[in-house]
Structures are given as structure tokens and as C-alpha cells.
Structure 1
Amino acid sequence: MTTAPATTPTAPAPTAQRGRAWIALLVAGAFEVGYALSVNGSTGFTDPLWSVVAVVFFLFTLFFLSVALKQIDVGIGYAVWAGIGAIGAAVLGPVFFDETLTLVKGFWLAVIIAGVVWLKLADRPASA
């Protein structure tokens, strides 16, 4: 009786791992936006429901950020994560809370977006 050798799963290619890391970073950024908004809604952690939501978002954002930073340099990953959080909170703050988004704020948000895009481009491997 012969048995076929057991196949072992192969490790994903580095490109696939980096792609998943960037997806994890985007998910972490989305949870960061939720965290920022829920902290604002918690009114200094005096509203129990918003406070629980803030803690849950905080745990998820840190988990996905840590997953992403296994493949992405910490300086780039943190900057992108913080940029997503800042932009998301600034854009959605007026939607959910009594906040304003002025042209000046919009300009500086555009600067953040440009910086995040350039960081992503700088993180690409050099082509041979």
C-alpha cells in the first residue's frame, strides 16, 4: 500500500503578503476613523454606549495595524494609518456631529492625502 506524500501549503508570495498587509492597514484606518468618532460621541467617556464602541474600535484598529506592520515599515504604516484616521474624522465629523469643514481645512486634508499617496509610492520596490 502506497500513500501519496502529504502536500504542504506553500507560503504566499511576498507580493501577496504585502498586498494583504496594505488591506489590513486600510481596515485599521477605517477602525481608526470609527474610534475617533466614537471617542467624540462618548463625551469624555461619560456615555456608556459610545465608550464601549470606542474601546471596541480601538482594539480592532490596533489589531489590524499590528498585522499590517509585519510587512510594512512602521514609519510608513503609522503615517498612512494616522492620515486615514485624521482625514476620515475630519470629513465625517460634520456628518455626525456639529463640526465644520472649511476650505482651509480641506486644503490641509488634501496635503495629508498627497503625503500618504507619496509614502505609498515610496514604499514600492524599485523596478529592475
Structure 2
Amino acid sequence: MSATTEQNETTEGHGKAWIMLLLAGLFEIGYALSVGGSQAFTVLTWSISAVIFFLLTLYFLSVALKQIDVGIGYAVWAGIGAIGAAVFGSILLDQPVTLYQGVWLAVIIAGVVWLKLADSKQLNG
């Protein structure tokens, strides 16, 4: 196998890992919203949903962390979950987001973007 082919497979695997991390983040949003809806696990349907989302988020996160450093992967996953829970909690659960919260959520988004860029092969040579 040539070095170019090996590099392409590594890059492709790394890209798939980021897709798995994105899916883990989306399932984390579902988990957070389900836990909120479960009212301390007293509502059965929301509780079941929370358990399912929890298992899915852990599975996809573990798959992603085979290729992505745990510190970067965990930060991105938590950022996606935090942003998504705030946005969708506001929309679906009528939880208000203040201006100050919006500013700090924007900081989280910027941090997640910069972490992804910092992991880029183009930046790291």
C-alpha cells in the first residue's frame, strides 16, 4: 500500500470519526431534553427516551474517540450538547435564553469551531 493511499484512508477514517462525534452530540441533545421531560424519571415515555438517547450518545462518542483525542472529542461533544439543549430547550420546552446566556453560548460555538480547526491536518502539517 502506498503512503498516499494510507494517508487517504487515515483522513477518511478521521472524517468518519467527526461524523460519529456529531451524531453523538445530536443524541446528547436528545438525552438532555428527554431527561428534562422525564421530570426526574417519573414520566415513563420520557424516561425510556432518555435511556435510549444515553446509550446512543455513549456508543457514538466511544466510536469517535477511537480516532479523535479524548480532550478534543469530549469538549466538542459537550459543546454540541450544551448549545443544542439550550436552543431546543428554548424552542420545545419554553425555557428562556437570556442575552448573557446567548453570548456565552456563542463563545462555546466559537471554541468548538476552533477545536475542530486545531485538529485539522492542514493546520498541523
Give the alignment partner of residue 47 of structure 2, picking from 38, 46, 51: 51
Give the alignment partner of residue 72 of structure 1, picking from 68, 71, 74: 68
Give the alignment partner of residue 37 of structure 1, picking from 23, 33, 38: 33
Q: Does residue 94 of structure 2 align to residue 93 of structure 1?
A: no
Give the alignment partner of residue 16 of structure 2, picking from 2, 10, 20: 20
Residues 37-87 of structure 1: per-residue CA shift (max 9 Å, x gap): 000000000001000000000000000000000000000000000000000
Query: Which has more radius of gyration?
Result: 1
Q: Does residue 105 of structure 2 align to residue 109 of structure 1?
A: yes
Q: Does residue 118 of structure 2 align to residue 122 of structure 1?
A: yes
Q: CA RMSD in A?
A: 1.4
Matched-pair identity in %: 68
How far off its partner does 1:98 sit?
2.9
The one-letter amino acid paired with 1:94 is S
Q: What is the TM-score with the length of structure 2 in the denominator?
A: 0.91
Distance in 2, matches of 1:94 and 1:117, equals 23
Distance in 2, matches of 1:28 and 1:94, equals 21
Match of 2:77 in 1: 81
Q: Hey, which bits of structure 1, 4+ residues long, moved more than 4 A?
A: none
Q: What is the TM-score with the length of structure 1 in the denominator?
A: 0.88
Q: Which runs of 5+ in 1 are unaligned?
A: 1-9
Q: Which runs of 5+ in 2 are unaligned?
A: none
Match of 1:63 in 2: 59
